[in-house]
Amino acid sequence: MDLTSLHLGGIQLHSMKRLTLCIDCSDEPGLIARVTGVLHRHGGNIVENGEYVDPESRRFFMRTAVEDVKDPDLLLRVLKTELPEIATIRLQDPSNKRVMLMATREPHCLGDLLIRAAYGDLPMDVCGVIANHEDMRSLTESFGVPFHFCSHEGRSRDEHEVQVGKILDEVKPDLIVMAKYMRILSTDFIRRYPNRILNIHHSFLPAFIGANPYRQAWERGVKIIGATAHFASENLDEGPIIAQDVTPVSHHHRPKEMARNGRDVEKRVLARAVRLVLEDRVVVTGNKTVLFE
């Protein structure tokens, strides 16, 4: 969105820093009026706005991009007094997030994200790549990004994850993106990064959960294949879905050609999900996501 010309609900005097306000609280009457009222009184100019109430949990979610807020800290404090006690309120500036990528042997998702980061297409700084094979080292390092080789061979799952965890503890990324990382992470590991590990699964979930989804798709004789970006959760391939897309196939496609065509879908679905998360547009509620687009 062009900050210098688009806004909502207020004349824009000059282009100040944009902040994103995310609210998550139990629903009650008048919340939109209260939040937008507070924003207005603090000089905030709303440039994007979205709300959602989860019909099951009765929770209210709101995402507002706002400019010209005079005193963000004061705004936050006032909002907290206006909203229900258990509200979660985040006010974030749009500076680049720090992202750790994880890979195994395939370059399509990893390379796509590295290029996007290097040329400013995605608001992220890639602070490193962790891989359980050496194959992606040269691609990674050609972008000036540190490559951490964590072999799983000769190591137990626990030992391997301790090694990976150490790197994450040092780097402290805001987000971890598994760009075709083909090792299964333990429940304990995933629990340490709730809704912060993004994964791409090479099928149209929940179809073809598990190993070799393209072979499964070929065996079933489907006419469309897909890919699914989701948060990693304790149950493999069952975390909250962020983005999905598909591509047609025919009887001419064997698993190998399905995999080839599928890679293009994986790549664009993962990039889309990463963008949504980096722009604070994704809220998790239960095992689903709300996307403020």
Of the pair 11, 211, the CB lying nearest its own copies is at 11
Of the pair 132, 168, the CB lying nearest its own copies is at 132
φ and ψ at residue 76, rounded to 5 degrees: -60, -45
Query: In which element (H, E) is residue 274 found?
Result: helix 255-278
Q: Which of 24, 237, 264, 280 is catalytic?
A: 237
CA gap 211, 237 in Å, rounded = 10
CA gap 126, 114 in Å, rounded = 7
Of the pair 175, 242, the CB lying nearest its own copies is at 242
Residue 237 is among the residues annotated as catalytic for this protein: yes
User: In 10 A of CB 229, how many CB atoms?
Assistant: 29
CA gap 268, 146 in Å, rounded = 24
Instruction: Give the list of residues 6+ apart from residue 260 with CB closer than 8 angstroms, or none.
Output: none
Of the pair 176, 283, the CB lying nearest its own copies is at 283
Give the nearest distance from C-beta 60 to its own copies in angstroms: 7
Write the secondary structure of 91-124 as one string of H (helix), E (strand) and C (coil): EECCCCEEEEEEECCCCHHHHHHHHHHHCCCCCE
Give the nearest distance from C-beta 106 to its own copies in angstroms: 8
Give the nearest distance from C-beta 175 to its own copies in angstroms: 20
φ and ψ at residue 220, rounded to 5 degrees: -80, -20
Give the nearest distance from C-beta 180 to its own copies in angstroms: 12
Catalytic residues: 237
